[in-house]
Structure 1
Amino acid sequence: MDPQATHLLYLHGFRSSPRSTKARLMAARVAREHPDLQWWCPQLPPSPREAIDMVMKGIADWPRKSMAVVGSSLGGFYATYVAGMTRCRTVLLNPAVHPARDLALYIGDQTAWHDPAEHFYFRPEYIQELRTMEVGALTRPERVLAIIAKGDEALDWHETSARYPDSNIKLLEGGDHALSDFEENHLDDVIAFINPV
């Protein structure tokens, strides 16, 4: 049986931030009900290489058996990389599985989702950085829970669910990319998976 989580990493999606609704809901739940759980939700830089370097340095001393990662969208792709490197418990929320292909359409000036006044430039070389982070089949797929909405308007749920064939998949009829019903219908499942009773 897995131990209770002692460290929890949350990775936000493309154009997103620690101010995302799901990140704030998770932070509030952790603070209220699991105050001993070390929580880290960093603002990820636009460069995938810089983002994953920052993350891996930040969790270098974390205990692999009792750490967990939650990733949303592009953060789910990053979380899959972390899972491949650490074999930790992982929850993926509508994870991106082919970001090198899909984000090629977004090269250029972008605005931050939570503050359109914030701009960043998504550079062509970031596509190759994403390609180098593809980890293949996971060695501990049973330690992964993927919550996937068939109604995701940004990603193809067929591709997403096929990427994690031996993992725990919660496949939603309908829903949306943001998982707008996250607090009511999914937050308890996320906490239960990373904190087994």
Structure 2
Amino acid sequence: KKNIDFICPPLDISPKTAISQVNKVVQTFGTKERSPFVVIGSSLGGFYATWLMQTWSGAGTCIAIVINPAVRPVRDLQSQVVELKPWQEAVSANKPFSTKYHDELAEIENEVAKSIKYPDNILLVAAKGDEVLNWEEMVQFYKNCQHYIVEGSDHGMSDFATHWKNIKPFIGLV
């Protein structure tokens, strides 16, 4: 058995703030003493994991598992942009995904290259039954990475536990 430090920070709705949070985790825990450093992200979190693998100086020693990742989040989240009047925002229980956040996401998406820098260090887990994102687009984007394609399932990978036994060897767990 291995000792594993598990960190699952709640990421802010602001992509710029979320990336800052990811960087803080990496600076705190992404050391050689914790090798390999494993990042797992799903949907937009999968996009953030990809961003990290493309931009972090220590990414060559990092392993990423991306689960139903957003490949083109600016396009995919366009329909989610909501503009509230200041008084509506003040009484709203949740922060809406605003144009400001969409613009932040566009800046971050531009930092993700069209080809993956460390394809051997990334495992794509894609569900053919994803009702939100196109699994074939994921396979194309991560074409040089390892793939674990799930027949059926859904965007949230509600049956993830049944697939863990096939995924964990990628990070050295058996």
Q: Deviations over 1:128-157 (max 9, x none)?
A: 211222311221101111111111100011
Q: Over aligned residue pairs, what C-alpha RMSD do you find?
A: 2.1
**Structure number, greater radius of gyration:** 2
Alignment correspondent of 1:192? 169
Amino acid corresponding to residue 97 of structure 2 in structure 1: F
The DSSP-based 3-state class of the residue aligned with 1:119 is coil
User: Identity of paired residues, percent?
Assistant: 37
Q: Deviations over 1:164-194 (max 9, x none)?
A: 010001122222111121111x222332212
The DSSP-based 3-state class of the residue aligned with 2:27 is coil
Taking the aligned partners of 1:52 and 1:102, their CA distance within structure 2 comes to 18
Taking the aligned partners of 1:130 and 1:39, their CA distance within structure 2 comes to 26
Q: Deviations over 1:30-83 (max 9, x none)?
A: xxx64x212110011000010011110221142264201000111000010111
Q: What does residue range 42-191 of structure 1 map to in structure 2 within 5 Å? A: 42-61=9-28, 62-63=30-31, 65-84=35-54, 85=56, 86-87=59-60, 88-108=62-82, 119-134=94-109, 135-136=112-113, 137-184=115-162, 186-191=163-168
TM-score (norm 2): 0.82
Whose helix fraction is larger, Structure 1's or Structure 2's? 2
The DSSP-based 3-state class of the residue aligned with 1:38 is coil
Alignment correspondent of 2:86? none
Alignment correspondent of 1:25? none
Q: What does residue range 18-33 of structure 1 map to in structure 2 within 5 Å? A: none
Count of residue pairs the alignment pairs up: 157
Taking the aligned partners of 1:119 and 1:195, their CA distance within structure 2 comes to 39
The DSSP-based 3-state class of the residue aligned with 1:71 is strand
Taking the aligned partners of 2:93 and 2:124, their CA distance within structure 1 comes to 30
Q: Single out whichever of 131-140 and 148-157 deviates more from structure 2.
A: 131-140
1:106 deviates by 0.7
Structure 1, gaps ≥5 residues long: 1-32, 110-116
TM-score (norm 1): 0.73
Taking the aligned partners of 1:118 and 1:71, their CA distance within structure 2 comes to 26
The DSSP-based 3-state class of the residue aligned with 1:169 is strand
Alignment correspondent of 1:28? none
Whose strand fraction is larger, Structure 1's or Structure 2's? 1
Structure 2, gaps ≥5 residues long: 84-91
Amino acid corresponding to residue 100 of structure 2 in structure 1: E
